[in-house]
Amino acid sequence: MARQVLPTDTELAQITNLGEARQWAGLAEPTWTAVSAGLGTLPSLRVFSSVSSSSLRSILQTVRVTVAGVERELTVVESIQVALMWRVARQAYQLEDVDPLADPMTPTSTPAATATGGTSPAGKRIKTSSVLDQLDESEVQHFASAELDQAYRNHSEITGSDPPEDCEPTPEQIAALHAKVIGRGEAPYADFSVLTPFGRRAQRQMKARAWTLQQDGTFRALDVPGPPSFEAWSACWKVYRAALFMLRYAALAPNAAKKVVSTACLEEYYEKIVRLNAEFPEAWHLIVQAEDRCRSEMFERYRRQLVKAAADGRLPMGLDFDGSTPWIGVFCFAARNGTYWGEYVTRPAQNFIARGGKHMTADRASAVNIPDAAKEALDNVTTATAPADPPLSRHPPSPGHGVSRAAKKRRRDREKTNASGSPSATTNRKGTPYQKAQGGLYSHNADGAEICYKFAKGPLGSCPEPCQSQRDHCCQICLGRHPNSQCSKSADKPPGHAKSSGKGAQKK
């Protein structure tokens, strides 16, 4: 004859308080004391039956039991015993039987009971890998309208309003993050290569250009998943922040639901990335990889470290840590952890710059691999966050018009040579003779770059700046910054002598 896991009606009639439920489950009293304290010191079996399954799972992961002066986590058997107590409490008050330790994706309730509230098992399901985390193959239930409305009320509670259109997460993104953080008690990680603004329009993954040091000292370019620039990362971060503001841990009492994150902790973490980007703009590929690794790999480790430190009464960095809302302290700790950022950003960035690594910013479209749909979506949000720098030209500066220190020095030297009538004025900077076209007109400037014939031979303004052919705008007679038609010098003189001073002419 098969035996049932829960007590019979006769056994249930004899369980009237938490102590009797604990004895029925066989749970040690010190272990139950620690669990009850983690839940806020449960007063009765009735209150215990109202605790949500997600809150119970979270406590079972964070609570620590002291044995012989040493703290430890709950064993598997102890977790099962606490779960049985919770199921007995719900059975005593005729509530739906749910196994809190079962896989959240496995439906454990009956359709009739589920229809009274929450999501429907027959509703739309979402693949987490397509909206939140590429490596998470789980499926989650789509949010019902009532749950989505509550999520937006949660956001308004913190910020005072709904998120702006360009920062608004999709219902699929909200449901996937809720299942990860609230349902399974995992770290609030989101992959910014798929969690993007206007999620339906940017369906393909974004990629950033990174450089890997080779054995011969050169850097090899490769594409890695992630936002290709700080502006794109910031746009994804705003969507992520809005989704986190919508999450709440289940309430142990009416109107007592706890926030998953706070405005202050997210702002501190965001400002850390802002400072790193301002210090190492050439090494964005290192910053974006370190930031993603921090949230995906280090957050859970930081949580365990802070739980232990809080139990020992020695929290670092002046942190305020609450085990029931751990991610607030984790975000702050991650932002202040200089050791991590020094190992994965500061020192690698300094090495990258010292070895001559360059981030190709002359043409952003060629430096990164961004899907067209993502470009269209991100264009709506990067304008407000982009720094107040002059827009990048479609073409690099034409020869002779560079803005670098070396280019300015070459122009000053050229002007001095032209003014002094140097005997070497018949050769260019490379030591080779000036090249002349038909008619004795020069075809190259003092730096050996080709002269734009359209500018030189046409009227003023024939070829706009910068030159569409990437040639130098100068005179073919004296290499001055004007068309041939405005030059008063003779075409048979070398460019250095074309601007000889009056004193030199008198000496001749």
If you write DSSP's letter for every residue of 215-229 in order, what string do you get?
A: TTS-EEEEEEES-SS
185: left (phi over 0), alpha (psi -120 to 50) or beta: left
Q: Is residue 390 part of a domain?
A: no
Q: Are residues 492 and 466 in the same domain?
A: yes
Q: Is residue 392 part of a domain?
A: no
Q: Are residues 178 and 258 in the same domain?
A: yes
Cross-strand pairs, 444? 450
Residue 394's Cβ-count burial label (10 Å; 0-12, 13-18, 19+) is: exposed
Q: Are 281 and 359 in contact (CB under 8 A)?
A: yes
Q: How far apart are CA 335 and CA 36, in angstroms?
A: 32
Q: Is the pLDDT of residue 400 over 80?
A: no
Residue among 388, 380, 335, 370 nearest 235 (CA): 380
Q: Are 174 and 243 in contact (CB under 8 A)?
A: yes
Q: Are residues 198 and 293 in the same domain?
A: yes
Half-sphere exposure of 171 (CA within 13 A, CB side): 13
The DSSP bridge pattern shows strands 125-127 and 139-141 to be antiparallel
Amino acid 346: pLDDT: 95
Final residue in a domain of this structure, among 385, 418, 437: 385
Final residue in a domain of this structure, among 355, 385, 415: 385
Q: Are residues 148 and 218 in the same domain?
A: yes
Least confident of 1-5, 275-279, 401-405, 489-493: 489-493
Joined together, the tokens standing for residue 461 give 């303004």
Least confident of 269-278, 290-299, 366-375: 366-375
Q: Are 302 and 331 in contact (CB under 8 A)?
A: no
Q: Is the pLDDT of residue 389 over 50?
A: no
Q: Is residue 493 part of a domain?
A: yes
Joined together, the tokens standing for residue 193 give 């290569």
Q: Is the pLDDT of residue 295 over 90?
A: yes
Selection from 275-279, 358-362, 385-389 with the highest mean pLDDT: 275-279
Amino acid 393: pLDDT: 42
Task: For 333-368, write each residue's pLDDT tens digit.
Answer: 999 999 999 999 999 999 888 877 644 333 333 334
Final residue in a domain of this structure, among 35, 69, 103: 103
Q: Are residues 46 and 80 in the same domain?
A: yes
Listing DSSP states for 174-196 in one string gives HHHHHIIIIIS-------TTTS-
Q: Are 247 and 398 in contact (CB under 8 A)?
A: no
Residue among 23, 24, 16 nearest 44 (CA): 16
- What is the Cα gyration radius of the chain? 34
Q: Is the pLDDT of residue 205 over 80?
A: no
Amino acid 226: pLDDT: 72
pLDDT band with cut points at 50, 70 and 90 for residue 123: low
pLDDT band with cut points at 50, 70 and 90 for residue 439: low
Q: Are residues 369 and 401 in the same domain?
A: no
Half-sphere exposure of 216 (CA within 13 A, CB side): 3
Q: Are 472 and 453 in contact (CB under 8 A)?
A: no
> 62-82 b/e with 16+ CB inside 10 Å = b?
bbbbeeeeeeeebeeebbbbb
Q: How far apart are CA 252 and CA 51, in angstroms?
A: 6
pLDDT band with cut points at 50, 70 and 90 for residue 69: confident
Q: Are 464 and 446 in contact (CB under 8 A)?
A: no
Q: Are residues 62 and 177 in the same domain?
A: no
Residue 72 DSSP symbol: E
Joined together, the tokens standing for residue 196 give 């993007």
Q: Is residue 115 part of a domain?
A: no
Joined together, the tokens standing for residue 99 give 């196994």
* Structural element, H or E, at residue 70: strand 70-73
pTM above 0.85, yes or no: no
Q: Is residue 391 part of a domain?
A: no
Domain that holds residue 234: 125-385
Q: Are residues 371 and 468 in the same domain?
A: no
Q: Are residues 291 and 377 in the same domain?
A: yes
Q: Is the pLDDT of residue 425 over 80?
A: no
Q: Are residues 380 and 404 in the same domain?
A: no
pLDDT band with cut points at 50, 70 and 90 for residue 170: very high
Q: Are 169 and 136 in contact (CB under 8 A)?
A: no
The DSSP bridge pattern shows strands 70-73 and 64-67 to be antiparallel
Amino acid 59: pLDDT: 85
Listing DSSP states for 379-447 in one string gives HHHHHHHS-SPPPPPSSPPPTT---SHHHHHHHHHHHHHHHHT-TTTTB-TTSSBPPB-TTS-BSB-TT
Residue among 3, 277, 266 nearest 159 (CA): 266
Amino acid 243: pLDDT: 96
pLDDT band with cut points at 50, 70 and 90 for residue 114: very low
Domain count across the chain: 3
Single-letter residue type at 458: G
> In 3-state terms, what secondary structure has residue 144?
coil
Residue among 241, 231, 237, 239 nearest 208 (CA): 231
Q: Are residues 183 and 290 in the same domain?
A: yes
Single-letter residue type at 310: A
> In 3-state terms, what secondary structure has residue 147?
helix
Q: Are residues 240 and 339 in the same domain?
A: yes
Q: Is residue 118 part of a domain?
A: no
Amino acid 308: pLDDT: 93
Torsion of CA 425, 430, 436, 437, to 10 degrees: -150
Q: Is residue 114 part of a domain?
A: no
Q: How far apart are CA 174 and CA 98, in angstroms?
A: 24
Q: Is the pLDDT of residue 106 over 60?
A: no
Q: Is residue 88 part of a domain?
A: yes
- Site of tokens 């040493």: 70
Listing DSSP states for 16-56 in one string gives -SHHHHHHHHT--HHHHHHHHHHTT----HHHHHTS-HHHH
